[in-house]
Chains A and B, each alone.
Chain A
Amino acid sequence: MEAMNRRPEPTVESPVVRTSQMSERSVTNVVFAGLGGQGVLKASDILSDAAFRCGLDVKKSELHGMSQRGGSVTSDVRFGDSVASPMVPIAEADYLVVLSVSEVDFARPLLKENGGVLLTADLINESRLANRRSLNVAMLGALSTFLDIPEEQWHRAIRANLPEKVHEANIEAFNIGREARSRQA
């Protein structure tokens, strides 16, 4: 894949008025993967919203359509000072959050080879969750321990994206995910 990294040579003498101040380093890339019905898209909605509430530029992208019918689903979330493409380039995910163990092999190529963090569902003891459907939010709890997003914003985003009757269960799931990660770390 050498060619992929080759960039056109800049010439020395051309005067440059650069309005593009896109520092790629300031962008955090997260990819969620799982199967249709597991809440992959909901998890990415909540992360996007939490980052958005921090005043960051956010882009989130996924393919809808057949996702309800049990097929593989991935969703990309990118945030930082300024994000260009809405899609996380292959092998550039800083974090890969996988909700179904069966999807790990499929999704792994998306993760950065050096320093990328893989979070899989076996991190969570599902028997501790009041409702197994909040596994997605528990995984966000685990992810949150790596990110510079205040807990308060996570809570707001969870509340804004889920129906009221499941708010408490999901805040609890979020905390279970946070604990699971800090115990492991």
Chain B
Amino acid sequence: MVSSERMLLSGNEAVAHAALDAGIALGAGYPGTPSTEILETFSEIGGRAQWSPNEKVALEVCIGVAYGRSRALATMKHVGLNVAADPLFTAAYSGVDGALVIVTADDPGMASSQNEQDNRHYARAAGLPMLEPSDSQEAYDFFFKAVEISERWKLPVLLRMTTRICHSLTVVHRRPDAEEAPAADYQRDIKGRVMIPAYARGAHVRLREKLSEIADWNEKSGLNQVVEGEKSLGIIADGVAYAHAREAAPDASFLKISMVHPLPIEAIRRFAESVQRCVVIEEGDPYLLERIRAEGVTVEGKPDMYRFGELNVARVRRILAGDTSPEPAPARGKPPQLCQGCPHRTAFEILRDLGCIGTGDIGCYTLGVLPPFEAMDTCVCMGASIGVGLGLRHVLPEEQARKVVSIIGDSTFVHSGITGLVEMIYNPPPTGHVILILDNGTTAMTGMQEHPGTGRKLDHQPTSQVVFEDLARSLGVPNVHVVDPMKQADELRKHLSEALESNELTVIVVRRPCVLAAGKIRQYAQAAEQ
């Protein structure tokens, strides 16, 4: 027997290695902490990976791959699945021919996110199987399971990770041989793939049938492990909460839930009946608790205060002890700031000095909300800067409306700002509007990824480039300026002041590379010239 390779991998790296070993033909996604390294690693170790403009497009590309009987991997952070939710729900109806694994990387505790939504709800809402690993080995192993389930039931499968699973290094034994993936092939199946109402009705019924088969299979799949311990305390847990709970209560009995949808309800019932006290330990929303209780099984949950933030060993001990006394405030260190020499700084100084109402967006530049700038007034989700700015312009009294500026980064603009730009020329407010595109030549926030505006692909090789000023002009924006914030700060101030006074539409591209990425960008450009 060939001995398996022993490696120390993050959950993200483990997924990338599994994707390679499982014969994934294409991985597509959009960067987002904590998911980003999956595709970066997949590409580094020889997989075919690409960044899409946003998560919706990435998922659609992957659906196409899987319609062609190949194996696809889509990756995104939790909020990315909101963007991709539209194709997700209907791909559940149509199903796939090959395999489609969708990684959603949730961020309980919001280490670097704008919310801590719990994407286990998506599995139930869309009606898709969801696997949830509790360490890197399981991330690796469950990926193969996801491929197997996807091909057997011809359904997309969700693999839910969380920050601590994505980024913790743990030991992984890699399989000795890679799987042979089936050859791509198109089989026409109009009723199965064209979701007009007449065909979708049948597809919905088929989806529910598949789910009930998977639920039966999951009862005996061996995925949901029982660890026998003392009968006085039984713990049902999923994901990293399982690891914390094993440490907090080493003597307890455990049922580890590895497939969180559909749930192995009979196994849960048997387990709960086998112990004197049964507690559900889960991070985030009471997802398992409510499902289990709805089936008439008696279990305890956690007090509501533990719904917020991450769990850890200390918090699990408190939950088990029923302790609801106030928790010690977590130590907060020095917050991050815009780097010294960051090209975003100039724009925020000017916005602050001009007293603008800055409708903001997500990226490094969101730090413009902090002192000494305090030049950002709103931040909802990627791309929202433009729509929110337009909405304010439509209703505010003229004096206030004139101060509204939408501030958006380059990667964010491609992700979901372009439709906002179209809205601006389609429904212009009476006072006009101004968009500042802060183009630092990279997706800095998530660790310097390429995007369609850089003209380079995920592996930094050259490709076609989306030129923001050309795009704005082609849509008919009358005032389009490009300025270097270091060399032309005065021009930037002048263009912005003029735009605020006029009733016209203006796009100002503020272009200068991120100081941390500049060296690399120069190298890539040189390499491309040779």
Q: If the complex has contacts A60-B168, A64-B112, are A8 and B243 also in contact, measured as CB distance less than 8 A?
A: no
- In whole angstroms, what is the CA distance A171 to B317 when docked? 42
What 1/0 mask marks residues of chain B from 439 to 469 whose CB sits below 8 Å from any chain A CB? 0000001010000000000000000000000
B232 touches A84 (CB 8 A): no
Contact of B336 among A3, A71, A106 (CB under 8 A): A71
In chain B, positions 266-280 with a C-beta closer than 8 Å to chain A are 276-277
In chain A, positions 1-49 with a C-beta closer than 8 Å to chain B are 1, 3-11, 14-20, 22, 24, 33, 35-36, 45, 48-49
Q: How large is the interface on B (under 10, 10 to 19, 20 to 34, 35 or more residues)?
A: 35 or more
In chain B, positions 236-276 with a C-beta closer than 8 Å to chain A are 240, 243-244, 246-247, 249-252, 254, 276
Q: How large is the interface on A (under 10, 10 to 19, 20 to 34, 35 or more residues)?
A: 35 or more
Contact of A19 among B163, B227, B321, B364 (CB under 8 A): B227
- In whole angstroms, what is the CA distance A105 to B270 when docked? 49
B317 touches A63 (CB 8 A): no
Q: If the complex has contacts A4-B318, A58-B170, A85-B312, are A64 and B33 also in contact, measured as CB distance less than 8 A?
A: yes
B337 touches A20 (CB 8 A): no
Contact of B243 among A1, A57, A73, A86 (CB under 8 A): A86
Is the C-beta of B169 less than 8 angstroms from some C-beta in chain A? yes
Interface with A: B140-148, B173-181, B327-335, which one?
A: B327-335
Q: If the complex has contacts A16-B230, A70-B339, A85-B313, are A63 and B8 also in contact, measured as CB distance less than 8 A?
A: no
B170 touches A86 (CB 8 A): yes
A10 touches B232 (CB 8 A): yes
A65 touches B168 (CB 8 A): no
Is the C-beta of A103 less than 8 angstroms from some C-beta in chain B? yes
- In whole angstroms, what is the CA distance A18 to B233 when docked? 13
B232 touches A19 (CB 8 A): no
Which chain B residue shows the least CB distance to A69? B336
B337 touches A71 (CB 8 A): yes
Is the C-beta of B367 less than 8 angstroms from some C-beta in chain A? yes
A58 touches B8 (CB 8 A): yes
Q: Which of chain B's residues have a CB closer than 8 A to the CB of A84?
A: 243-244, 246-247, 250
- In whole angstroms, what is the CA distance A58 to B227 when docked? 21
Q: Which of chain A's residues have a CB closer than 8 A to the CB of B332?
A: 72, 106
Q: Which of chain B's residues have a CB closer than 8 A to the CB of A66?
A: 112, 336, 445
B169 touches A60 (CB 8 A): yes
Least CB distance, B6 to chain A, in whole angstroms = 8
Is the C-beta of A89 less than 8 angstroms from some C-beta in chain B? yes
Is the C-beta of B34 less than 8 angstroms from some C-beta in chain A? yes
Which chain A residue shows the least CB distance to B12? A64
Q: Which of chain B's residues have a CB closer than 8 A to the CB of A73?
A: 333
Which chain B residue shows the least CB distance to A64? B167
Q: Which of chain A's residues have a CB closer than 8 A to the CB of B171?
A: 52, 57-58
What 1/0 mask marks residues of chain B from 52 to 81 whose CB sits below 8 Å from any chain A CB? 000000000000000000000000000000
- In whole angstroms, what is the CA distance A117 to B207 when docked? 57
Interface-central residue, A14, A16, A83, A86, by most chain B CB under 10 Å: A86
Q: Which of chain B's residues have a CB closer than 8 A to the CB of A63?
A: 111-112, 163, 167
Is the C-beta of A150 less than 8 angstroms from some C-beta in chain B? no
Which chain B residue shows the least CB distance to A9? B232
Sort A-B residue pairs by CB-CB distance and give the 9 closest, nearest first. Answer: A72-B333, A65-B112, A71-B336, A66-B336, A86-B168, A84-B247, A69-B336, A14-B231, A3-B323
Excluding A3-B318, A61-B169, A85-B240, 7 further A-B contacts by CB distance (< 8 Å) are A1-B328, A3-B317, A9-B232, A24-B250, A58-B8, A65-B33, A87-B312
**What are 12 A-B residue pairs whose CB atoms fall within 8 Å in the complex?**
A35-B334, A49-B8, A58-B171, A60-B8, A64-B33, A65-B33, A65-B111, A66-B336, A85-B246, A86-B164, A86-B243, A87-B312
